[in-house]
């Protein structure tokens, strides 16, 4: 008996399946990035210049750092809506402490900067500590816990400042961490690169990093395999807040003031950067390098809209539309994955 001939795929069918397979493998981000570069390059001749691209990198640093922390929360099946509050509290506490120390010891600017940064980052991390305790040990939903801490944190920041910006920090703080460069590259980019490298090692080279994926993929199975799911959830929100706090101090250096109203758009932007990068809202799926690219994509879009002189109100509309599009694309991608498996 002769064996039946194998079906030969039609060329037109192969061409039709190619975009689908690329979409399943890479997600929607590469397609959105290509479209954005093409559109904004046509709208402004300054868009693809080296100076503007470096400016995009510098402006995207703060969102990139916050998004890396937000990714940890999403990996475990939750999210952190209080990252904006963390930036505000960090900025206010850090600036107040730094200004007070510098006023008391004007000859010790370096010590004032160090004490102010430590105080600000500690205050921001404290918000993550509260989130972690509520989510991990009391079973509060991440939505309600982080939403409640958002209100608490902004209230504290406004109480400490009365809504007035905090001045009096050493000039060296802004010169180094806000506007400083080394070999032509802004200092905040080095900070973001170092954080990304450390987080990459933790996520993909240590058992602790794999716990985030395990808990987000199936918390019950992770617990049965010996993973302390409560400890993992607790450290997830502590690390998320700590990264947001670092971004808050860098942004304070850039603004040269402590502000109680900074970071209000960070929750939406950081979640959008992660979802556009393919991090699943269901948990357990996501890559760090894709999240970094997602944050850079949002920075690129904002920069392109500024060059095209699109009003800030419409920019908010575009960002919300991109988030919705990314969520829809994620659902379509999951269906395609199931189809290919079948």
* pLDDT tier at 130, thresholds 50, 70, 90: very high
pLDDT computed for residue 77 by the predictor = 94
Sign of CA dihedral 207, 273, 67, 140: negative
Average pLDDT score over the chain: 90
Q: Return the half-sphere exposure (C-beta side, CA atoms, 13 A cut-off) of residue 116.
A: 35
- Which residues make beta-bridge pairs with 166? 258
User: Which tokens belong to 330?
Assistant: 């994620």
pLDDT for residue 23: 73
Residue 248: pLDDT band (50, 70, 90) is very high
pLDDT for res 310:
85
* Helices vs strands, H then E, count in the chain: 14, 2
| Region of poorest pLDDT, from 3-7, 54-58, 148-152, 327-331 | 3-7
Maximum distance among all Cα pairs of the chain, rounded to whole angstroms: 96
Confidence of residue 80 (pLDDT cuts 50, 70, 90): very high
Write out pLDDT tens, residues 4-29: 555 555 555 555 566 677 677 667 88
200-221 pLDDT, tens digit per residue, is: 999 999 999 999 999 999 999 9
Angle at 279 between CA 150 and CA 321, to 5 degrees: 70
Confidence of residue 31 (pLDDT cuts 50, 70, 90): confident
Rounded to the nearest 5 percent, the helix, strand and coil shares of the chain are: 75, 0, 20
pLDDT value for 203:
96
Q: Spell 82-95 as b/e; 16+ CB within 10 A means b.
A: bbbbbbbbbbbbbb
Q: Which residue has the higher pLDDT, 308 or 113?
A: 113
pLDDT greater than 80 at residue 342? no
- Predicted TM-score (pTM) above 0.75: yes
Pairwise CA distance, residues 286 & 210, whole Å: 12
Q: Which pair of structure tokens corresponds to residue 6?
A: 């194998």
From the number of C-beta atoms within 10 Å of its C-beta (0-12, 13-18, 19+), residue 336 rates as middle
What secondary structure letter does DSSP report for 61?
Answer: H
How remote is the C-alpha of 254 from its chain's centroid? 18
Q: Average pLDDT, stretch 265-283?
A: 90
Residue with tokens 């894709």: 290
pLDDT, tens digit (0-9, with 9 covering 90-100), for 221-236: 999 999 999 999 999 9
Residues with Cβ within 8 Å of 300's Cβ and at least 6 positions away in sequence, in order, are 33, 36, 37, 40, 56, 60
Return the closest-CA partner of residue 257 out of 57, 80, 103, 98: 98
How far apart CA 64 and CA 90 sit, in angstroms, is: 17
**Are the C-beta atoms of residues 41 and 48 closer than 8 Å to each other?**
yes
pLDDT in tens, 36-52: 999 999 988 889 899 99
Between the CA atoms of 54, 58, 63 and 67, what dihedral angle is there, to the nearest 10 degrees? 70
Does position 263 have pLDDT exceeding 90, yes or no?
A: no
pLDDT, tens digit (0-9, with 9 covering 90-100), for 66-77: 999 999 999 999
Q: Are 324 and 317 in contact (CB under 8 A)?
A: no
Question: In Å, how far are 40, 42, 70 from 67, measured between CA atoms?
Answer: 24, 29, 5
Q: Are 210 and 284 in contact (CB under 8 A)?
A: no
Which DSSP string corresponds to 96-107? HHHHHHHHH-TT
Helices (H), 256-287: 266-276
What the block records as the tokens of 42 is 């046509």
């Amino acid at each position: 008996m002769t064996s039946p001939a194998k079906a030969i795929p039609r060329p037109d069918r192969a061409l039709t399946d190619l975009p689908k397979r690329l979409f399943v493998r890479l997600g929607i981000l590469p397609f959105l990035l290509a479209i954005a570069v093409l559109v904004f390059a046509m709208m402004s001749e300054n868009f693809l210049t080296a100076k503007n691209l470096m400016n995009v990198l510098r402006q995207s640093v703060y969102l990139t750092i916050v998004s890396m922390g937000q990714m940890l929360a999403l990996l475990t099946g939750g999210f952190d809506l209080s990252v904006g509050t963390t930036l505000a509290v960090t900025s206010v506490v850090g600036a107040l402490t730094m200004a007070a120390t510098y006023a008391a010891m004007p000859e010790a600017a370096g010590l004032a900067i160090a004490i102010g940064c430590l105080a600000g980052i500690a205050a921001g991390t404290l918000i993550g500590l509260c989130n972690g305790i509520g989510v991990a040990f009391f079973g509060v939903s991440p939505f309600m816990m982080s939403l409640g801490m958002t209100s608490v944190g902004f209230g504290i920041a406004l109480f400490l400042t009365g809504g007035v910006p905090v001045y009096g920090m050493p000039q060296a703080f802004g010169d180094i961490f806000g506007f400083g460069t080394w070999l032509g590259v802004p200092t905040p980019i080095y900070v973001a690169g170092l954080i990304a490298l450390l987080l990459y090692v933790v996520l993909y080279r240590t058992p602790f990093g794999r716990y985030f994926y395990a808990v987000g993929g199936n918390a019950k199975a992770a617990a049965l395999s010996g993973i302390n799911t409560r400890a993992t959830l607790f450290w997830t929100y502590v690390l998320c807040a700590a990264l947001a706090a670092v971004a808050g101090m860098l942004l304070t250096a850039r603004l040269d003031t402590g502000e109680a109203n900074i970071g209000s758009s960070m929750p939406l932007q950081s979640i959008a950067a992660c979802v556009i990068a393919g991090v699943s809202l269901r948990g357990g799926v996501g890559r760090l390098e894709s999240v970094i690219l997602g944050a850079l994509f949002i920075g690129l879009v904002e920069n392109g809209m500024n060059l095209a002189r699109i009003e800030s109100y419409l920019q908010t509309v575009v960002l919300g539309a991109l988030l919705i599009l990314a969520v829809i694309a994620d659902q379509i991608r999951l269906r395609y994955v199931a189809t290919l498996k079948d």
